[in-house]
Amino acid sequence: MHEFSTFGIGGPIQYFAEVHTIEEMREAFLFASQKRIPFFVLGKGSNCLFNDSGFSGVVLLNKIDFCSWNETSVQVGAGHSFSLLGSQSARRNFSGLEFASGIPASVGGAVFMNAGANGKETCESLLSVTYLHADGVEEKYSREALSFGYRHSIFHTMKGAIVSAIFSLTPHLEARPRQLQIIDYRMKTQPLKEKSIGCIFRNPAGQVSAGALIDRCGLKGFRVGGAKISEIHANFIINVQEATAKDVFYLIELIQKTVLETTGVLLEPEVRFI
């Protein structure tokens, strides 16, 4: 799993396949069903902490990657880079997805987690999602039929895979300058050149950010094994030297305990534990 993780962490995979079409995804689901084993659909491998023991089942790397533009929307495959989509749309002077620049997710992953930054969320520009259920049935959902929350979507309760999405676009000459400003700010305030999986904790409602709370506790730079709390942004844990999931788990628990004792706030992890 470490080969497909932005963290560079994770053990062996029992079965693995790259999936380039909906039909290949359907065949993979059938294989998992016949073997009576679980499957996991993988995008960019961010926002997930993979176990050191690996995954006993089928890991499917979603490579359904296409991009079709028109005057008011773009239809894009779930395997397309969300960050690239943000820069592509801005270069075409389309507004709505500038915030996506620098987010290390696939389009499918961004929709699944309702990824967000700079006060914007993925669902805000979403028009519809095409989903393949585990039984092989393909279904298209309008935005109105879907439920989204902070780093959450209805897809968390469904079994299958997002295969494509359609986003609305608004022509705006300031889209490109705004997108460049966002990526410049992110480069200066986040450890984008390090191995990480993005922010570890959700920002508490009505509180200062999780990163500010962790920083207030003096935890920046604290290290366990090969894992370290970033000195650039305290809500990032980075893999500095062959870190294990166990190292990261220990740091997460340490952060939660310290922040709770110091500030009274219990931080809730944003990452998924696979």
Residue 118 pLDDT more than 90? no
pLDDT tens for 85-96 read: 999 999 999 999
CB within 8 A of 179, min separation 6: which ones? 86, 87, 90, 98, 101
Q: Please spell the DSSP secondary structure of 80-143, one letter per residue.
A: SBHHHHHHHHHHTTEES-GGGTT---BHHHHHHHT-EETTEEGGGGEEEEEEEETTS-EEEEEG
* Residue range 63-67: mean pLDDT, rounded: 97
Active-site positions read 151, 199, 270
- Domains 67-178 and 193-273 belong to one CATH topology: no
What predicted TM-score, i.e. pTM, was given to this entire model? 0.91
Question: What pLDDT score was predicted for residue 205?
Answer: 87
pLDDT tens for 142-156 read: 999 999 999 999 999
Question: What pLDDT score was predicted for residue 63?
Answer: 98
CA 159 to CA 38: how far, in whole Å? 10
Please state which of the ranges 69-73, 79-83, 204-208 shows the lowest mean pLDDT: 204-208
Phi-psi region of 240 (alpha: psi -120 to 50; beta: other; left: phi over 0): alpha
Query: pLDDT above 90 covers what percent of the chain?
Result: 96
CA angle at residue 240 from 14 to 116, to 5 degrees? Answer: 75
Question: What pLDDT score was predicted for residue 250?
Answer: 97
Angle at which helices 82-91 and 175-189 cross, to 10° = 140
Residue 119 pLDDT more than 90? no
Residue 74 pLDDT more than 80? yes
CB within 8 A of 215, min separation 6: which ones? 234
Query: pLDDT above 70 covers what percent of the chain?
Result: 100
Residue 27 pLDDT more than 90? yes
Q: Are 114 and 150 in contact (CB under 8 A)?
A: yes
Question: What pLDDT score was predicted for residue 252?
Answer: 98
Structure tokens at 172: 């705006």
Nearest CA to 51 out of 2, 4, 93, 15 is that of: 2
CB within 8 A of 44, min separation 6: which ones? 6, 81, 82, 104, 105, 106, 109
CATH class (in words) of the domain with range 67-178: alpha beta
Question: What pLDDT score was predicted for residue 5?
Answer: 96
Q: Hey, which CATH number is domain 2-62, 3.30.830.10, 3.30.43.10, 1.20.58.60, 3.40.1350.10?
A: 3.30.43.10
DSSP one-letter code for 203: P
CA 62 to CA 273: how far, in whole Å? 19
Give residue limits of the domains in the chain: 2-62, 67-178, 193-273
Q: Are 149 and 202 in contact (CB under 8 A)?
A: no
Structure tokens at 245: 């999931």
Question: What pLDDT score was predicted for residue 230?
Answer: 98
CATH for the stretch 193-273: 3.90.78.10
pLDDT tens for 215-262 read: 999 999 999 999 999 999 999 999 999 999 999 999 999 999 999 999
| Residue the block writes with tokens 């069903």 | 33
Rounded CA Rg of the chain: 19
